[in-house]
């Protein structure tokens, strides 16, 4: 009888482990798709196997001793042989673990140095900014940091495949941790410091990731994606991203632009957007294109995800994810809890349905769809 409850718990735990393994495989440290992740995998697999074997042997020994011990208790046998002070045995179980740990240490240190390889000739210097609770990316293309970054974007980190980047990581508020498991390890992103990490995607593709350090109430919603493009797609992307937003021709979109200028442009930057006075609207920030508090939306439509990377911007048919975009404008805290707490994140602006329609029409004009969507 007494075994029933533990047995049930054990079964439940086993089911949990199996179900967890069935989950989405998009963030899988065991399927490396980039150089750094590959090196880490080559270390972790043998270490896991060694740890598993040791764990199994200890568990088997423990169960064996429990069974033998209970049986002996029942038969009222004498005390078992005492091993305390057995020189040979004590030397053995001191040296054996030390040897195993030494082998693991050599592998770990070698891998750590290996992960510090030189970056390739980078076509852009990319700085990753962590914010509560989303990621922005700045691309420095002309080597002149005085004029600000040439491209500022959010959620999707776009890189060309096959290039080893040294990303710079900075935080605007608290400590976050940047993690795209199938491409590289993790790196803490700390306010006031610039950390670096190498990242490379071997082939074009989309690689999911997320913040890995608890950073506040919306930490679990702080997703990211690395989008690796082919060389020609990358060239096109670079060219498009450096353009200013075009003035819409559609009347609904024009009305939306006015709503945007009046309600959204105090936080969101759209490059090339002019205010009622005909002057370009520059949201205050560290660099001309950076708002520092909300994503730059100049090429909003060229991203695959929005709302901190939580929702796809396009549905399976490549159409704009209109219901979610409207809901985001209507009632942001219904999609991203804690979004507007302490004035962080998207506030509820109390927009009318007409304004929402106009805004969606305007946002739809901001940039071309990403490769493979909206076509």
Cβ at position 5, least distance to ligand CUA in Å: 37
Smallest gap, in angstroms, from Cβ of residue 305 to ligand CUA? 16
Report how far Cα 69 is from the mean position of its chain's Cα atoms: 50
Smallest separation, CB 211 to ligand CUA (Å): 3
Q: What span, in angstroms and rounded, lies between the C-alpha atoms of 113 and 366?
A: 43
| Stretch of residues binding ligand CUA (CB under 6 A), selected from 139-147, 213-221, 260-268, 302-310 | 213-221
How far apart are alpha carbons 240 and 233 in whole angstroms?
A: 11
- The per-residue b/e assignment along 236-252, b for 16 or more CB within 10 angstroms, e otherwise, is ebbeebeeebeebeeeb
CB of 156 to ligand CUA, least distance (A): 17
224 lines the binding site for ligand CUA (CB under 6 A): no
- Is 372 in contact with 253 (CB distance < 8 Å)? no
Residue of 57, 62, 53, 50 lying closest to 101 (CA atoms): 50
Please select the residue that binds ligand CUA; options are 125, 213, 233, 355, rule is CB under 6 A.
Answer: 213
Please, which of residues 133-172 interact with ligand CUA by CB under 6 A? Answer: 133
> 267 vs 81, 213, 239, 282, 332, CA distance in Å?
75, 26, 25, 10, 15
Count Cβ atoms below 10 Å from residue 55 Cβ, excluding itself.
Answer: 10
* DSSP 8-state symbol, 80: P
224 close to 308: Cβ distance less than 8 angstroms: no
Which of these segments, 27-35, 54-62, 206-214, 254-262, binds ligand CUA (CB under 6 A)? 206-214
| Site for ligand CUA, residues 171 to 190, rule: CB under 6 A | 176
CB 135 within 8 A of CB 153: no
Cα 364 to Cα 5: distance, rounded to the nearest angstrom: 57
Would you count residue 223 as binding ligand CUA (CB under 6 A)?
Answer: no
Could you say whether residue 329 binds ligand CUA (CB under 6 A)? no
Pick the binder of ligand CUA from 211, 226, 238, 265 (CB under 6 A). Answer: 211
Of 218 and 298, which CB lies nearer to ligand CUA in the complex structure?
A: 218
CB contact at 8 A, 175 and 188: yes
Task: Give the total of residues touching ligand CUA (CB under 6 A).
Answer: 9
Q: How far is the CB of 217 from ligand CUA (least distance, A)?
A: 10
Report which of 211, 201, 196, 53 is spatially closest to residue 131, judged by C-alpha positions. 211
Query: Rule CB under 6 A: is residue 215 a binding residue for ligand CUA?
Result: yes
Binding window for ligand CUA (CB under 6 A); candidates: 105-113, 210-218, 318-326, 367-375: 210-218
| Closest separation in Å from C-beta 223 to ligand CUA | 10
Q: Does 219 bind ligand CUA (CB under 6 A)?
A: yes
Minimal distance in Å, beta carbon 345 to ligand CUA? 13
Q: How far is the CB of 218 from ligand CUA (least distance, A)?
A: 8
Give, rounded to a whole angstrom, the gap between the first and last alpha carbons of the chain: 63
* Interface ranges with ligand CUA (CB under 6 A): 130, 133, 176, 211, 213-215, 219, 222
């Amino acid at each position: 009888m007494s075994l029933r409850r533990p047995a049930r718990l054990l079964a439940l735990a086993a089911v949990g482990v199996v179900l967890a393994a069935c989950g989405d495989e998009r963030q899988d440290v065991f399927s490396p798709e980039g150089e750094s992740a590959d090196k880490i995998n080559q270390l972790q697999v043998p270490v896991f196997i060694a740890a598993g074997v040791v764990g199994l042997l200890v568990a088997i020994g423990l169960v064996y001793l429990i069974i033998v011990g209970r049986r002996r208790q029942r038969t009222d046998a004498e005390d078992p042989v005492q091993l305390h002070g057995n020189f040979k045995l004590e030397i053995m179980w001191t040296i054996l673990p030390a040897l195993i740990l030494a082998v693991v240490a050599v592998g770990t240190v070698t891998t750590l140095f290996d992960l510090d390889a030189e970056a390739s000739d980078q076509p852009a210097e990319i700085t990753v900014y962590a914010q509560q609770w989303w990621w922005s990316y700045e691309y420095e293309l002309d080597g002149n940091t005085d004029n600000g970054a040439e491209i500022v974007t959010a959620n999707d980190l776009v890189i060309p495949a096959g290039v080893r980047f040294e990303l710079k990581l900075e935080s605007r508020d608290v400590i976050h941790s940047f993690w795209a498991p199938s491409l590289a390890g993790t790196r803490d992103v700390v306010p006031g410091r610039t950390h670096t990490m190498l990242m490379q995607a071997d082939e074009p593709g989309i690689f999911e990731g997320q913040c890995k350090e608890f950073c506040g109430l919306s930490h679990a919603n702080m997703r990211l994606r690395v989008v690796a493009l082919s060389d020609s797609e990358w060239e096109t992307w670079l060219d498009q991203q450096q353009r200013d937003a075009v003035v819409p021709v559609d009347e609904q979109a024009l009305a939306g632009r006015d709503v945007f200028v009046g309600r959204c442009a105090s936080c969101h930057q759209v490059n090339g957007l002019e205010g009622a006075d005909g002057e370009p609207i520059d949201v205050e920030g560290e660099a001309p294109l950076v708002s520092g508090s909300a994503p730059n939306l100049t090429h909003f439509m060229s991203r695959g995800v929005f709302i901190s990377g939580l929702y796809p911007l396009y549905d399976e048919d490549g159409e704009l994810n209109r219901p979610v975009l409207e809901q985001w404008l209507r009632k942001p805290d219904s999609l991203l809890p804690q979004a507007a707490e302490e004035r962080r994140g998207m506030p509820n602006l109390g927009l009318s349905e007409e304004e929402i329609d106009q805004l969606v029409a305007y946002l739809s004009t901001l940039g071309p769809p990403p490769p493979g969507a909206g076509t």
